[in-house]
Chain A
Amino acid sequence: MSSRPIVTLDGVTKSFGSFKALHETSFSIGEGEFVTLLGPSGCGKTTTLRLIGGFELPTTGKIGIAGQDVTHNPPYRRPVNTVFQDYALFPHMTVAENVAYGLTVRGSTVARSDIPRQVGEVLEMVGLSHMGGKRPGALSGGQKQRVAMARALIRKPRVLLLDEPLSALDVKLREVMQVELKRLHRELGITFLMVTHDQTEALALSNRIVVMEAGRIRQIGTPNDLYDRPATPYVADFIGATNLIEARYEGREAGFEVITLPGGAKLRRKASGNGFHPGSEVLIGIRPEHLSPAVGDNLVQGRVVDTLFHGDSIRLEFLPDGATQPAFAQLARGSSLSADALMPGQPIRFAVAPEDVMLFPKVAA
């Protein structure tokens, strides 16, 4: 984080009855960042967003926004605005009325005469200049999404909260809106905090990602950090995909750490100063894209289970020798392997670079 914090959570927990939706959580978001809360449904990411928006009050802990303690403030006394998952546009108002809503509420300091100009500006910013007179019911999903953005942004929030903003859109439109979101973030300089379960979206858009699972933060880092140095097998598998293989740690040897695979083969890994004792049970993680069919000396061997054609690549499922779970490799099309070599049951081997082998404790984190 490069700038001063604009949102801080300090020891925040949230329980619904006996269910603990959020375990003690502390983190902060820097001004101007694009941060994503990432995790599967039920991981507490939406609860965290709703706590910051003021729609839920924390059971314990403190929430600060822009240097002010807002822990017990209702939503209408927080300098944040939300883009809701299903947009929550007011059906009985036109697009322009929806967008103007935040300026016409009691306590708004914007002059009535200036509202049409501001509404026009914001609608133009999201590319809906000519839609002001329509009702939300007459809009497409992507247009509703833009109206929801405009309605939230017109209040010039310090932080824009986005709750699964793109999940209701189809794939093509989602990609268009991703570019749009990134552009708005860059142009407005407002802090964005987005909730999503889609790791591609998180990787594509964010400066930093907060990975959550079962009401806890598992790791916070830049997309590169999380991809290259996942802290746990869970993060490794959630950010991109990772093959996890049970193995035994043998010790150090000439600047490398040596691991024995279940089949007996040895694998070298670039030393990183872990605290494992020689002989301890570990999990190694290798990303499918890091397994190359080229010959080398750091090898994972197994037998082909199946192949799946993915257009630009082939996804190959194989069972590493001695392993109980299948692993996956991603092969470029036209790779050197012949069709015969990819028949189920054929022996196959992949080389992996020592720096691409990840190492985790075996106990589930």
Chain B
Amino acid sequence: MSKLDSKIPEGNLEQKWTKYKSSVALVNPSNKRNLEIIVVGSGLAGASAAASLAELGYKVKVFCYQDSARRAHSIAAQGGINAAKNYQNDGDSVYRLFYDTVKGGDYRAREANVYRLAEVSNNIIDQCVAQGVPLAREYGGMLSNRSFGGTQVQRTFYAAGQTGQQLLLGAYSALQRQIGLGTVDMFTRHEMLDIVKIDDKARGIIARDMVTGKLERHFGHAVLLCTGGYGNVFYLSTNAMGCNATAAWKAHKKGAFFGNPCFTQIHPTCVPVSGDHQSKLTLMSESLRNDGRIWVPKKQGDTRKGNEIPEEERDYYLERRYPAFGNLVPRDVASRAAKERCDEGYGVGASKMAVFLDFKAAIERFGKTQAKKMSIDNPSPQQIKEFGKQVIEEKYGNLFAMYEQITGENPYEVPMRIYPAVHYTMGGLWVDYNLMTTVQGLYCLGEANFSDHGANRLGASALMQGLADGYFVIPYTIGAYLSKEIAVKPIPTTHEAFAATEKEVQERIDKLFAIKGTKSVDHFHKKLGKIMWDKCGMAREEKGLREAIQEIRALREEFWKDLRVTGKPNEMNPELEKACRVADFLELGELMCMDALNRSESCGGHFRVESQTEEGEAKRNDDNFSYVATWENKGNNTYELHKEDLIFDVVHPSQRSYK
């Protein structure tokens, strides 16, 4: 247990962060100039951290696998970002945002971290507006808010359905400014393939130049991993094609413990799978549940089109089961409810694995209000529909267009078909209050770490956490470590540790090419994804998890015997890039199943069939599982479990209810 010191400051919850900030060690400006920081990943967490640290005077190097920092997958976040501004005067507060987040996470997050997150949420909005991020506004010129799942206040700030894009471009502009000022060196089309440790401290990375294929050594006094989640273990997810776990996994194998790997968020509203060719799944923002109503036919196996099914033959199952929150229940609850209906034979569409998300009522409601605004007394149904469509288009236009592109159906006219898909991973590298992993000098920010969201993340909280970590947490907490490093001169990359690590990486690459098998990388990735989705997806049980572990082991063995990587190592080679990533997914997948097997309770997104209430809701077991399951890699795919007990001083865990 001594290995896990969460370093949560003493004192009242409300004062921990304030006191911490006034007592944490500082690094003076002349010393900052001599300290080098490596940031891997350029999404919200990485870009905001890199820009903020460079502004403070540190020398920063940033790495991303895309051709520009602006392309990191934070860009795809649609709905919004939460903050406790209480601009709507609807009773919001830092405490409420904190409470909703802890409850939404089904009481599996650290109180102190979540409270800090809620506290800095307001600074994020201020910062973004100052940067020129064009968030949505009301006619009076003030910022607009919308609702999101799992809350009863309107605290979500947004920019149409492109909030992630606008926030990332804000952080990216701050980063580009520092690049222009010469304080940040940017390495695009570079992928980190290992961590370099010297005397048990992280001191650099080995990165592959993806254009030339050359391996490079880079030194840093500290290394920040801001590399996102590992949803692509499932092959099909809402992640970008390149999202991967390699940086985090390599760090894990070098001593960083992995926290709650089985905590995966399955997002309820995604465009359903259309065929075997499917390469990724597209999210339809949760914000759509503000105005859309989710339903299935009351009759099993109903083959009629959505519009042909009369009102009284529709089952608005979320409104029926959860009258208090209705269509805005948290994601885990909504996903399971959709799966339950489809498994029972009420699903719609060709595959029968979909439910309807219907905007007919909203179009009518908005249309009528709009007609009133325009002083049209007796609007025709046609006018109402037209006006309503205009309002919907302004709110969700890009999402509706996206849906039509993918499915060939017009969602203004027919209800959308949606189904849950893997979206976000709450698990990740274990970090302490400073965001440091169990490796000295190695930090982890954003989705890549395990903290803050417990067993289920609420909508519009990922952007909040990424930017909180990068803008407002790491600039303070990194001082606690770097203030002790000021005497350390930059270590030349000729150091034996760099040479040895580079050799390891080179040998791994050579080994992949040496297999000369017959099956492509995608072949193995798809197989792994299917095992994970079937047995470690929305419902998990002991038997299936045990099978999955065996199947993944067999698949991994086959991978190392029969993989084919075409081309050469020293060239631009996407097959090699994928092979490196899938090799890691094949190990991480097994650990996810082991973690899911260990946690025989249900909580949040983790649903163990054996642990449910009579009504089929997730049943927690606080007596035995109120801890962070933290796994240490012992080599050869063996792991040791360490537990960080979760202590709730302020919030009292109760059975989560959204009824």
A in complex with B? no
